[in-house]
Amino acid sequence: MRNETGTLTRAEFLTLAGVSTHQLKALVRRDQIPYIDEEEASPQTAATKDRHGWRRYFVRDALAMILMAQFAEDGGISNDEAKRAVVNSLYRAEAVRNNGIRSDILTRDGIANQIWIGVAQLGDDGRAHVGGTMIDIQVQIQQSEKRFDSGCKITRLTLSNVSQAFKTLVERAQKAGIDISKELIDADA
């Protein structure tokens, strides 16, 4: 049962994120949790801690955890870099905003239309966090290549499918009987 409107209990968060209490504690100790702190993006939104200073959990944070795990486990990216990539790229892809997750992410068909986030390695030292459809990402990479040296080209691209991660989250919520409908927002909101 929810603590208050819009937040998850810790148990609900762990279920949706697909992590154990032990894993969460280890990631917290290492400051490797990809919390999507809306108060940093928009001062008008609710703070991420309750009146006692305890961390509030949101559906968007569970989605970020799923994506971070995909980057770290499947993409060969460190947890620290995966955390930065997820937090930066979700906003760039406009998948998360106004304390919610865009509901149209679930209905996008075809790989080209789905929402992706990722890290583009440019040469030896350049890195760009990208997000959106495949066409959006292509444009972002081209812009990033122009910002770096004229000879700097992409050497590695690691992507994670936000649409698929969100489907996983929805399936977990349905299986556990967790209502996440209040966290979904219209794409035009």
pLDDT, tens digit, 9 for 90 and up, residues 116-131 = 999 988 887 788 889 8
Whole-number Å distance between alpha carbons of 144 and 121: 10
CA 187 vs CA 2, 93, 100, 102, 183: distances in Å: 25, 12, 10, 5, 12
| Extended strands (E) in 6-74 | none
How many CB atoms within 10 Å of residue 50?
A: 13
Residues listed for the chain:
189
Confidence of residue 4 (pLDDT cuts 50, 70, 90): very low
Q: What's the confidence (pLDDT) of residue 40?
A: 45
Q: What is the mean pLDDT of residues 85-111?
A: 73
- Could you identify the residue written with the tokens 């969460």? 24
Q: How far is CA 17 from the centre of its chain?
A: 11
Domain ranges of the chain: 10-180
Mean residue pLDDT across the chain = 80
Answer whether 107's CB lies under 8 Å from 101's CB.
Answer: no
Whole-number Å distance between alpha carbons of 174 and 158: 29
* Token code pair at residue 76: 């060969």
- Burial of 93-119, coded b for 16+ CB within 10 Å and e otherwise, reads bebbbebbbbebbeebeeeeebbbbbb
* Token code pair at residue 137: 């990402």
Q: What's the confidence (pLDDT) of residue 114?
A: 87
| Coarse DSSP helix, strand, coil percentages of the chain, rounded to the nearest 5 percent | 45, 15, 35
Of 55, 65, 78, nearest to 18 by C-alpha is: 65
Which of the pair, 180 or 153, is modelled with greater confidence? Answer: 180
- Could you identify the residue written with the tokens 């399936």? 171
How many CB atoms within 10 Å of residue 15?
A: 19
pLDDT in tens, 79-91: 998 998 898 888 7
pLDDT in tens, 29-73: 998 888 766 444 433 334 455 544 567 788 888 999 999 999 988
* Token code pair at residue 78: 């460190």
pLDDT in tens, 151-173: 678 888 999 999 899 899 999 99
For residue 96, is pLDDT > 80? Answer: no
Residues 6+ apart with CB under 8 A from 183: 6, 58, 59, 60, 99, 100, 101
pLDDT in tens, 18-27: 999 999 999 9
For residue 111, is pLDDT > 90? Answer: no
